[in-house]
Structure 1
Amino acid sequence: MNARSHPLTTALLFQGGLVVLAVGLGWLSGLSPWRDIELTWPALAIGLAATLPLAASLVALPAARWQWAEQLTSLVRRFLRILFHNAWPGAVLIVSILAGIGEELLFRGVLQYGLTENWNPLVGILLASLLFGAAHAVSSSYFVLATLMGLYLGLLYHWSGNLLVPIVVHALYDWVAIHFYLRR
């Protein structure tokens, strides 16, 4: 399999494309997805700390031995093994960073921000979270978990006022989760 036909190439292009989509939608709607990003040590620290409960869920969910959780774990593991098969060492890091940036610019920086400007903030956060869940709906259980994660990320953004916080959480969680599933 060459680099152009590798599933990882598609993932990198897709995640990078989300950045372009977020910027384009932001431009069309008059919203800069970059406006609420402040690179500060407190934002990085909050992002790091806010990743810990999500990382703990990686261990807790399979330990619960619920059938739906075991099926979801198996599905995610198979997908990631295909995606990162024979991938170069930095691939997980780059995909994680691109996913954190692209998805958060789109779902929080453009959609959530636009929705909360026009409606009650809780409604905007919930709608953006449902759209985030729908974009990740490879199964009904994954839709629910992704929606809950979207809600968590949306609340972090709303609370902090800094889009860097959910970007850090998302990217770091993806990096930890991918390594967790690939090593199990």
Structure 2
Amino acid sequence: MTTIHSWHGQLRVKPAQSLILFICWWILSWVLGSILITRIGIETTMSVRLATIVQDIVMFVLPTLMTMLLIAQRPMRTMNADQAPALSVGLFGIITLVVSIPWMNSLVLWNENLHFPESLSSLEQILRNAENNAEILVNTIIGGTDISDLVISILIIGVLTGISEELFFRGGLQSILVRSTGNIHAAIWLTAFVFSAVHMQFFGFFPRLLMGAFFGYLLYWSNSLWLPVLVHALNNSIVVTLTWLGTRGYSEALLFENFGIDWQWCLASAVLTALSVWRLIRFSNRMKRRYKY
């Protein structure tokens, strides 16, 4: 079993109790957030933007901070949010994201084209409707073709969502699961599963699962929550920008979204991604030997 050495930080309660408390705060926050979003409504672009901000802050940031303030003697240290990542690790984290785009696009296409057996056709329709509704919400947040719409969308979907979701999933849930399971890899993949499942988009489940695991390993390799925050925000911002360009009639953006369907590009992307991850691990091991985490 692989034990963790960089997720230190004393807890005031047992790991299992920390997990229960975290879940309880999450449920309470979701109830509160749902009430607030219902009052706000999602009929207009402004209301959808405001509802998204409320969701990020109330449903993700609030339960994490409340839990950590109660269970941790050093909350920022426990979430690995008290230091910036090393420049080399941060650079290769971004490079890995960029070079992985072609083969990730092929995985997205494969997941989108999965079909259930005939006996489950009604369930498949429900799930596809959920996918369509999620896409409509994103398009509503973007709102239009003005540059101000792009900036606002990047701030909400890119920056705020990147911070709030990484704070919740990697800073909160993963750090608690590391202590509960004693196994970093189990904690990373369990968190990634929850991360993908919470989005409730089955036809994007597997790419999001891998992306969640990647964010989890970025935290492990860098010992800093801010690297997965940065890469998550960058990933979301790229998607927002391509969607916005599509609304302005730039067909090149749609071509970029489908970049990597050709198997040669997928193979090259997979090789480059593997090499970049290998460098990340090498940088990480060197830093851990140097600083003796």
Q: How many residues align?
A: 180
CA offsets 1:106-136 (integer angstroms, 9 cap, x no match): 1011111111122111111111111101111
Structure 1 residue 181: Cα displacement: 2.7
The answer for the alignment partner of 2:65 in structure 1 is: 23
The answer for the alignment partner of 1:113 in structure 2 is: 175
Structure 1 residue 31: Cα displacement: 7.0
CA offsets 1:22-54 (integer angstroms, 9 cap, x no match): 211222332766322323534542342232145
Structure 1 residue 104: Cα displacement: 0.6
Q: Which runs of 4+ in 1 moved over 6 A?
A: 62-66
The answer for the alignment partner of 1:85 in structure 2 is: 143
User: Aligned residues: percent identity?
Assistant: 21
CA offsets 1:130-178 (integer angstroms, 9 cap, x no match): 110111123x122222222111111121122211111111000000012
The answer for the alignment partner of 1:39 in structure 2 is: 84
Supply the distance in 1 between the matched residues of 2:56 and 2:112 (Cα, whole angstroms): 31
User: Relative to structure 1, is the Cα distance of residues 101 and 107 closer, same or farther in structure 2, using a 3 angstrom cutoff?
Assistant: same
Equivalent residue of 1:39, what SS? coil
Matched, 1:127 2:190: yes
Which range moved further: 116-125 or 21-30? 21-30
Supply the distance in 2 between the matched residues of 1:19 and 1:65 (Cα, whole angstroms): 30
Supply the distance in 1 between the matched residues of 2:198 and 2:112 (Cα, whole angstroms): 24
Which range moved further: 76-85 or 146-155? 76-85
Supply the distance in 1 between the matched residues of 2:196 and 2:74 (Cα, whole angstroms): 23
User: Relative to structure 1, is the Cα distance of residues 60 and 121 closer, same or farther in structure 2, using a 3 angstrom cutoff?
Assistant: same
The answer for the alignment partner of 2:232 in structure 1 is: 170
Question: Pairwise CA RMSD of aligned residues?
Answer: 3.0
Supply the AA of the counterpart residue of 2:98: L
User: Relative to structure 1, is the Cα distance of residues 117 and 141 closer, same or farther in structure 2, using a 3 angstrom cutoff?
Assistant: same
The answer for the alignment partner of 1:150 in structure 2 is: 212
Which range moved further: 38-47 or 13-22? 38-47
Supply the distance in 1 between the matched residues of 2:170 and 2:108 (Cα, whole angstroms): 29
Matched, 1:7 2:65: no
User: Relative to structure 1, is the Cα distance of residues 90 and 33 closer, same or farther in structure 2, using a 3 angstrom cutoff?
Assistant: farther
* Partners of 2:111 and 2:205 within 8 A in 1: no
Supply the distance in 2 between the matched residues of 1:181 and 1:129 (Cα, whole angstroms): 25
User: Relative to structure 1, is the Cα distance of residues 62 and 2 closer, same or farther in structure 2, using a 3 angstrom cutoff?
Assistant: closer
Normalised TM-score (structure 2): 0.53
* Partners of 2:150 and 2:240 within 8 A in 1: no
Structure 1 residue 77: Cα displacement: 4.2
Normalised TM-score (structure 1): 0.80
Gaps of 5+ in 1: none
